[in-house]
Amino acid sequence: MSNTATTETKPAAPAIEKIKVKVDGRELEVPKLMPDWQGKLVPTTMIQACELAKTDVPHYCYHPKLPVAGNCRMCLVEFGTPALGPDRKPVINPDGTPKIAKSPRPAIACATPISPGMEIYTQTPGVKQMREGVLEFLLINHPLDCPICDQAGECKLQEYSVDYGQSASRFVEPKVHKPKAVDLGPRIVLDDERCILCTRCIRFTKDIAGDDALGIVNRGSYNTLTAYPGKVFDNNYTLNTVDICPVGALTSKDFRFQMRVWFLKETKSICTSCATGCNIIVGSREEKVYRYTPRENDAVNACWMCDHGRLNYKWIGRADRLAEVRRQTSEGRSEKTTWTVALNEIAEKLKKAPHGSVAIVASARQTNEEFWLLKKLADKFGALTDSIGYFGEGDKLLLNVDRTPNRTGARLIGICQANVGIKMMVIADSIKVGKVKTLIVFGEDVTKSSLDAELLGKLDTLIVSDILPNETTKRAHYLLPGCAHVEKRGTFTNIKGRVQKFMKAVEAPGDARPEWEFLHDLVYNVTGQDGFLTIEGLFNEMAKDVPAFNGLTWAGLGDTGVTVPT
């Protein structure tokens, strides 16, 4: 929107008025109001205007999702506003431009609202000198222990030192010494000497997590971050403070000293520990997952994730992962076989199965694509299908009571009902009376629900795909090793109907294959349907077929997904 005459002063009612400002001499129009940390529309700040102008303003304490503190002083900028004459009208330069009165004092860009005609200067010698001054002050008492610091490589002190640091320190005084390796809680270790007192962690835990556990004691340069006396820093969101700590003061007990961050491959993924579907980055190296960190998605998790979900990754690398395709011989002995043999044999058996003699138990941890392929099989045989629900206590922030990532997908595709698991008893009864002779189980130990070992023994064929051994996998006639979500691509539908995709971070162990791949083979073998050899093609086919997903495409999901009506 530019200065077209008609909309200049009175824009349409719902639209947010735009005002013109200049950032480093470049004029742009920015909304008068922009969302604050809670999403409430408030006057746009200088730092937001600079961001819209694609001008980086260095900062430590400012975080778009936290209340503004304004204490680090790194974002100081110079600015001017249109000069007003004695008649309160703008003073005009001889060339017709408004005269700008430069403010004698700088302002913090994070907390200062813009005004019409304001000029913001971020690259002047004065601004550079202020940044250099702040950085020097932050470094004088800093231990400069980057070689042993976990933050190295993703540290704001390091990054801004490149731009505003000095090659040598002129500080010749003794440094202030503060507590080291402070055990703040079960998951967090604090190094107070590295802390730059930005208070991001304090604000996060007080205002976002609702647990006012952290504070600063002592005065001046002896300021020390601590948990309140007698209080343990232990809520389900503590590890977010490690993410937002701009330096290496707060470290994760789980991740510290494990891996240099610059070695980590970053893969966009989704947390699978509950139905919220927090967007995450999987940090991996050489087929090993080292950490999950939250990835910003304002429609789902903002910048946060819970500790429960973040630390729930160790099972991926377990030594007892299923890595072989196995079949049971006619003598009841389990032997290793190949995918081709197993899938051909399964197809042959399924082709002979009478209508209504097959049941499928899928896992709500599977992907939309896998559900759709299973549904194709189910439709072919008139199979009973269901899944199993896992529920726990939820909280107000992110953790959902539903501890599976894709029950909504299973429901929308028709694998289970809104009341998940309601058909499990029907399946059990059908096996008991000998109606169901073939059971296909994905990712569930059904012996823990209504299908006990004795019932499984009545089946002619038990086809199981899983990634870890259990009582059901032990009894499988065909055992098909599958993949963790970080070992394949696919989509989940979260509790609010957001369809989100995730990417592959690491290779699966041994012969394990993504379920959608071998399910596709199986569907082809059984039904002759083909045409979706890639996950993109498969998703797009599914989106055409499943009413809830109509209109979606893999590419159209983007990095942060699309919400569908549920």
Partner 1 sequence: MCPTIVNNVETLCDVKHIVALGGAEYAKLGTPNNTGTRIVSLSGHVKRPGYYEIETGKVTIGQLINDPAFGGGLREPEPGRPPRKLKAVIPGGSSAKVFKAGEKFKLKRKGPDGQMVEQEMDMLDLPYDFDSLIAAGSMSGSSAIIVMDDSVDIVEALANIAEFYAHESCGQCTPCREGSLWMSKALHRLTHGEGRASDADYLVKIADNIPGGRTICAFGEACSWPVQSFVAKFKDEFIAKGKADEERRAQGKIDPDTTPSQQHESATAH
Between residue 431 and residue 470, which ones bind partner 1 under the rule CB under 8 A? Answer: none
Q: Closest separation between CB of residue 373 and partner 1, Å? A: 57
Q: Closest separation between CB of residue 103 and partner 1, Å? A: 8
Q: Please say whether the beta carbons of 270 and 279 come within 8 A.
A: yes
From 260, 352, 342, 334, select the one nearest 512 (Cα to Cα): 342
Among 91, 140, 144, 468, binds partner 1 (CB under 8 A): 140
Q: Which is nearer to partner 1, 175 or 180 (CB)?
A: 175
Q: For 13-78, give the secondary structure using H, E and C.
A: CCCCCEEEEEECCEEEEEECEEECCCCCEEECEHHHHHHHCCCCCCCCCCCCCCCCCCCCCCCEEE
Of the listed pieces 127-135, 243-251, 295-303, 462-470, which binds partner 1 according to CB under 8 A?
127-135
Among 117, 124, 137, 527, binds partner 1 (CB under 8 A): 137
Query: CA-CA distance, 243 to 544, in Å (whole number)?
Result: 39
Residue 379 CA neighbour count, 13 Å, CB half? 11
CA angle 118, 120, 122 (to 5 degrees): 180
255 phi and psi, to 5 degrees?
A: -100, -20
Q: Is 143 in the site for partner 1 (CB under 8 A)?
A: no
Among 11, 70, 80, 394, binds partner 1 (CB under 8 A): 70
Q: Closest separation between CB of residue 133 and partner 1, Å? A: 3
Q: Is 168 in the site for partner 1 (CB under 8 A)?
A: no
Q: Which is nearer to partner 1, 1 or 172 (CB)?
A: 172
Q: Is 124 in the site for partner 1 (CB under 8 A)?
A: no
Q: Is 173 in the site for partner 1 (CB under 8 A)?
A: yes
Q: Is 66 in the site for partner 1 (CB under 8 A)?
A: no
Among 21, 118, 120, 134, binds partner 1 (CB under 8 A): 134
Among 38, 93, 218, 553, binds partner 1 (CB under 8 A): 218
Q: Is 72 in the site for partner 1 (CB under 8 A)?
A: yes
Q: Is 71 in the site for partner 1 (CB under 8 A)?
A: yes
Q: Is 174 in the site for partner 1 (CB under 8 A)?
A: yes
Q: Closest separation between CB of residue 87 and partner 1, Å? A: 25
Q: Which is nearer to partner 1, 39 or 104 (CB)?
A: 104
Query: CA-CA distance, 29 to 31, in Å (whole number)?
Result: 7
Q: Is 222 in the site for partner 1 (CB under 8 A)?
A: yes
- Rg (C-alpha) for the chain, rounded Å, is 29
Among 10, 54, 88, 170, binds partner 1 (CB under 8 A): 170
**Alpha carbon 40 to chain centroid distance?**
23
Q: Closest separation between CB of residue 134 and partner 1, Å? A: 5
Of the listed pieces 64-72, 327-335, 346-354, 556-564, which binds partner 1 according to CB under 8 A?
64-72
Q: Is 223 in the site for partner 1 (CB under 8 A)?
A: yes
Of the listed pieces 10-18, 66-74, 255-263, 558-566, which binds partner 1 according to CB under 8 A?
66-74
Q: Is 25 left (phi over 0), alpha (psi -120 to 50) or beta?
A: left
Give the binding-site size for partner 1 (rule: CB under 8 A): 36
CA distances (Å), origin 422, targets 289, 355, 387, 389, 411: 36, 21, 9, 10, 12
Query: CA-CA distance, 488 to 504, in Å (whole number)?
Result: 5
DSSP for 303-324, please give it: T---HHHHTTTGGGG-TT---S
Of the listed pieces 200-208, 219-227, 298-306, 313-321, which binds partner 1 according to CB under 8 A?
219-227
Query: CA-CA distance, 245 to 154, in Å (whole number)?
Result: 10
One character per residue 90-119, x = contact with partner 1 (rule: CB under 8 A): --------------xxxx------------
Q: Is 94 left (phi over 0), alpha (psi -120 to 50) or beta?
A: alpha
DSSP for 90-133, please give it: B-B-TTSSBPEEE-SS-EETTTPBP-TT-EEESSSHHHHHHHHH
Q: Please say whether the beta carbons of 169 and 229 come within 8 A.
A: no
Q: Is 195 in the site for partner 1 (CB under 8 A)?
A: no
Q: Which is nearer to partner 1, 130 or 523 (CB)?
A: 130
Of the listed pieces 84-92, 128-136, 450-458, 494-502, which binds partner 1 according to CB under 8 A?
128-136
Q: Is 196 in the site for partner 1 (CB under 8 A)?
A: yes
Among 123, 166, 171, 263, binds partner 1 (CB under 8 A): 171
Among 128, 177, 351, 448, binds partner 1 (CB under 8 A): 177
Q: Is 89 in the site for partner 1 (CB under 8 A)?
A: no
Q: Which is nearer to partner 1, 177 or 288 (CB)?
A: 177
- The residues pairing with 498 across neighbouring beta strands, listed in sequence order, are 563
In 10 A of CB 130, how many CB atoms? Answer: 19
Q: Is 125 in the site for partner 1 (CB under 8 A)?
A: no
Among 57, 114, 130, 190, binds partner 1 (CB under 8 A): 130
CA angle 288, 293, 297 (to 5 degrees): 130
3-state helix, strand and coil shares in percent for the chain, rounded to the nearest 5: 25, 20, 50
Residues that bind partner 1 (CB under 8 A): 70-74, 76, 104-107, 129-130, 133-134, 136-138, 140-141, 170-177, 196-197, 216, 218-223
